[in-house]
Structure formats: C-alpha cells, structure tokens
A and B are shown apart, each in its own frame.
Chain A
C-alpha cells in the first residue's frame, strides 16, 4: 500500500531551517491553511492513498524501472550507473506523480477548477492531463516567450481541453507565468485549486510536492535493497525548482550521515556562471523571497529578480526550493553546475550509448555524472534520476546543433 512518508522537516510553520514560509498576500493565507489541513487529512486517509496508488499504477505507469546502464558504466569506467526511468511515465516526465496527487486533493476539497503555471509546458501538459482525467476545468499560464518556443506543448494542452493563457508581463517566462497563476488564485481563491509544479511557493506546497514526488526515492530504496542488498553510493539529479531531485533525495536525506548516499543536485550553469546567463540559484544566488518562499534566488543589488537562463526550459527558474536551500547550507546535499554545452553532450551521449533520448533537464544530471562517476570504484553504485524523456527537446537540439551530429 502506498504511503506518503513523514519527514522531520518542515516545522509546523513550513520552515526548513530559515527557508520556506508563507510570504504571500493576506488573501491567500486562509486558502493555504485550508490546503494544508486537507492535505494532512488526505495523507492519513487509506481511501485517498488507495486511489492515488491506483492512478499512479494504472494511469501513470508506476513503478518505474531502475535500469542498469551497462554501456554508459563501461564508457565512464567507474561506478555502476543505474537510471531511474521517470521518463517512461505517462506524459513523459516525473511531473505526473505530483499532478495526480494534487488533482485528487482538489477533487476531495470540492474544487472544480484548477490552474497551473508552466515553463516548457511539461507541468502544464501534466496538469491538463489529470484535469481531463478527473473532469476539472483547467487554465494554464505560460509566458509568451515559452508559448512561442513550445508550440507543440501548447497544442497538446489544448487537445486535452485546457485553456492556455499567454503571459506578456516581465520576462515572459516561467517566473511571470507563476506570478499570473498566483494572481488568478488571489482572484478565484474560493473556487480554484492551484496545482503548483515544483517544490517552491508558499507552505504547504514545497512539503506537499516533495511528498507526492518522494515515491521516486522510496522506490529506489526498495529496488536498491532488492538488487544490491544496500543503498546506492550516490544519487544525482537535475535541479531547477527542484522537484525531481527532492523526490529522489528526500527519502535518503534524513538518514544518519553514515547511511546516507552522496546526494548531488545539478543546477543549470547556462552559458557559464561568470556570464550571468545561468539558472544556478545555489551556485551563484543569494537568499531572498519569491513566490511566497524564502530560498536561494537570483536578484540584483536592489532585490529585483534577474531572469534565469538555461538551454533547458524546465531549469529556467530564478530560484530553488527551500528544502534544497536547507540541504545546501547543511551539507546534506552538494550542488554543482553544468553548462548548456555540457548538457548537450550528455544528451547525445545517452542517446548513442543507451538508446535513450533524455530530457535536456535530465541531460544535466548525465553531464555531471560524467565528471563524478569515473572517479568512483567499479563496485560502487550511482543512481541518476532520468526525470523526463527528450522528445520535447529534439527540435530545439536540432536547431542548436545546426542539424549536424
């Protein structure tokens, strides 16, 4: 039976150390309290858990395999590399773990309308999918710039019956789509459920999204014990807002240090940290508040948020979730940066050696593993979260490579 695990953090006020919280206009405070109460109740309700498990299994395709990437392991000549195949899930990424959970919660709370923000469109497609599944009205906010770049996902969402509202404000990307989704929620708070896609935003979202995503790490725990009789030595995942990484890390993060695998989050270093064109909030950001949460962020000397950049639209967010901010400070996880160029190499490498085209987000994790794995022993085990498949990115990569391989 599926279980949504309890973790030592956040504290009752939604804090991971100093991070997190609920920095939102007062109008939303009662709504957040309601969502939190409903979630805490649902989490203990066997009927809710059974239904979530049913859809995760029969609709999304869980559990996902832990696949031994033999040729890649041989190529790097270090540790044995295993891929957690979230890319095999329905809609092509880990996002569905969370959207199924939140949509069931919305239904339980009697909300008939759901809204969401999306960057590249993966979360938007996932929300549109579960809205169709449960017969909910669905509005997805997407920056104008992303609408242009991701026309296929816009069409997908429309096919699924969602309304896509382009956002013309600010940098016209994910951050602005999130502002607009929050504004919609402020306006329709009594009838609408906001399905947030990452471990960001006001409490309880970072906690709730983590718990819906922690099915990834929980499965890895069981699969590792079965396959190796022990936990892996290192876990690697890409970090934008940080939902796939938290999903993998959280079930291991609070273990005693000796039992804890090395946890490595990979941020998008874009064109390089020194260029200022990147999305490395931990690597090059400062603490601040955006979208309701205190966390590492990218902003200028006046506190104005600076646009993030990454070849991967899913990592293109100027902040990183409060729990990752906490892990970074506490040394629970380490965070590294991978450039656009390195990520493209990772993308090509996995396609060629394993017959798997990864999402550009996941390609960042592959690219960083290329630096870490060769330094490890052959009997060590590394798990990389393959958070999504690359079909959505093929056109963009073709453009970047000029059609040449």
Chain B
C-alpha cells in the first residue's frame, strides 16, 4: 500500500489517518513487536524510531525509551531486523524516524539501501532541514525512500515553500514549539500551520507532537493524519495495553473540530 493510498483510505472513512510511533527495541525487542501487533489494527501508517544517544527533538518519554532500548542492545542492525519482521506482518507504509548521525556513521547510501530492502517506505530525520543537504535527500529518493520533513509553527511561509519542495510521502506538521510529548491541548496555531502548508503542496499533512487523547486528536484532525508517539510509549512504560488509548484517539479522529 502506498502512502497516498493509506491517507486516501482514511479519508474515505471520514477521518484523519492514524500514525502510531514506537521506539524500536522498547520496552524490549519482543515487547516492541508485541506493541506493533497491538497498534497495527488501528494504524494507517506506522512510524518506527531508531533509538539515538542524543535525541534533541524529543521530550523525556522518548528520551527514556531510547536510552532503555540502547541499554538493552538495540543497534542499527537490530532495527533493520525489526523492520523485516514488521514488514512481514503488514503492507502498510513504514517510516523510519532517527537522527542524522547514525545515517552518516553507516554511510548514507548503505544505510538508505538497507532500510529500503528491509521494507521501509520512507524516513524522517528531524535534525536534517532538507536544504542543508539536498544531495542527501535526492540520494534517499533515488534509492526509493520517501523523505518526510517537519514544519513548525515558527516556520515562515518562505520556509514552508522551501521545505515542501523537497518532501515526498507526506509533510509532518509540528503542532507546538518544543519537543515531542503529550499536551493537554494543542495551540490554535496548528490550524493555521496546516492551512499554510496545504496552500503550498498537494501532499498529505500529518500533525504530530502533543497528541495525548481524544481532545488533542480531534484538534490535530484538521490535518490529513495524526502522529501519536509519547502517549503510546508512556503506556508501554507503564505496562498498560495500547488498545484503549488507540480507541480513544480514533474516536477523536472521527469527530474533528469544525474548521
């Protein structure tokens, strides 16, 4: 299933697409695979994080999960294996989220090719503004990976214009100024950001950061998709089942706030 098809299917059902995020290797290798099985029935696309030592775009929940996964021995090789196993479970689009340095350490061509072969649909590198290294973006695209970039409430119209020019797959709209993590409510400017992005691209737009339950999901559902990360990872941390949370969020996606 392509990314566009995944978004289109959700739209046909009258809701925004649900994109769960899970940190590879957290709470353990097996625990992660179990979590994938729990989220897949609800997921339209799936985002999998390769844990990194210095995740400066992430809040405390994902920081702790990344540290724990690394402590338990998760590695680039290990994440590649997990991608292959998840790919065997589903046809849905799978996005790799990590930071730039692991890519550089393995060599971009080798890194991108291996993840493509392991079943990745695309990648999200929060510390790579695309215009910093256009040739790296082109390389990923030539290898067949979609390149998703972030835009933030602080992004000027000129930035939006620049960044959408490099994006394939979808656009990741950050709902808040800040790091990943649950919020009680999303700022109203998220609606404006989504509007400003959609005025400049036909790609689907997904809102992420801060989605914690029904209300925030409904707020985020002004976009074509909603990413849920920290709330899921925190549930895993507490050993709680994921289905009730996903159920609640899915309901939020159905009753989006009036535009």
- CA–CA, A182 to B63, complex, Å? 14
- Taking a contact as CB atoms under 8 Å apart, the answer to whether B154 and A189 are in contact is yes
B 153-176 binary contact with A (CB < 8 Å = 1; else 0): 111100100010000000000100
Tell me which residues from 283 to 301 in chain A have a Cβ below 8 Å from any Cβ of chain B: 286-292, 297, 299-301
- Taking a contact as CB atoms under 8 Å apart, the answer to whether A292 and B104 are in contact is no
- Taking a contact as CB atoms under 8 Å apart, the answer to whether B159 and A26 are in contact is yes
Which residues of the partner chain A approach B52 to less than 8 Å between Cβ atoms? 303-304
Question: 16 other contacts beyond A299-B105, A304-B53, with CB at 8 A cut-off?
Answer: A23-B127, A24-B127, A26-B149, A26-B159, A27-B150, A30-B154, A30-B155, A188-B177, A190-B177, A289-B99, A302-B75, A302-B105, A302-B106, A303-B101, A303-B103, A305-B101
- Taking a contact as CB atoms under 8 Å apart, the answer to whether B129 and A288 are in contact is no
User: For the complex, is B118 an interface residue (Cβ under 8 Å from A)?
Assistant: no
- CA–CA, A186 to B54, complex, Å? 15
Count A-side interface residues using an 8 Å CB cutoff.
Answer: 38
Which residues of the partner chain A approach B178 to less than 8 Å between Cβ atoms? 27, 183, 186-187
User: For the complex, is A22 an interface residue (Cβ under 8 Å from B)?
Assistant: yes
Name the contact of B129 in the complex, choosing from A29, A186, A290 (C-beta under 8 A): A29
| Contact surface of A with B, Cβ cutoff 8 Å | 21-31, 169-170, 175-176, 179, 182-183, 186-190, 286-292, 297, 299-305
Which residues of the partner chain A approach B128 to less than 8 Å between Cβ atoms? 23
Which residues of the partner chain A approach B129 to less than 8 Å between Cβ atoms? 22-24, 26, 29
- Taking a contact as CB atoms under 8 Å apart, the answer to whether B53 and A189 are in contact is no
Which residues of the partner chain B approach A299 to less than 8 Å between Cβ atoms? 101, 105
User: For the complex, is B102 an interface residue (Cβ under 8 Å from A)?
Assistant: yes
CB-nearest residue of chain B relative to A287? Answer: B104
Name the contact of A30 in the complex, choosing from B56, B102, B133, B156 (C-beta under 8 A): B156
Query: Which 6 residue pairs of A and B lie closest in terms of their CB atoms, listed nearest first?
Result: A303-B105, A303-B102, A187-B178, A27-B152, A303-B101, A304-B53
What is the minimal beta-carbon distance from B216 to any residue of chain A, in angstroms? 17
Q: A289-B127, A302-B75, A303-B102 are in contact. Are A26 and B152 (CB under 8 A)?
A: yes
Which residues of the partner chain B approach A287 to less than 8 Å between Cβ atoms? 104
Which residues of the partner chain B approach A290 to less than 8 Å between Cβ atoms? 54, 101
User: For the complex, is B1 an interface residue (Cβ under 8 Å from A)?
Assistant: no
B 55-92 binary contact with A (CB < 8 Å = 1; else 0): 11101100100010010000110000000000000000
Tell me which residues from 219 to 238 in chain B have a Cβ below 8 Å from any Cβ of chain A: none
Give the residue among B53, B75, B103, B149 with the most A Cβ atoms within 10 A.
Answer: B53
What is the minimal beta-carbon distance from A311 to any residue of chain B, in angstroms? 23
26 interchain pairs, CB-CB under 8 A: A22-B132, A23-B127, A23-B129, A24-B56, A26-B126, A27-B152, A27-B154, A29-B159, A31-B154, A169-B60, A170-B67, A186-B179, A187-B177, A188-B177, A287-B104, A288-B101, A290-B101, A291-B54, A300-B105, A302-B75, A303-B102, A303-B104, A303-B106, A304-B52, A304-B102, A305-B53
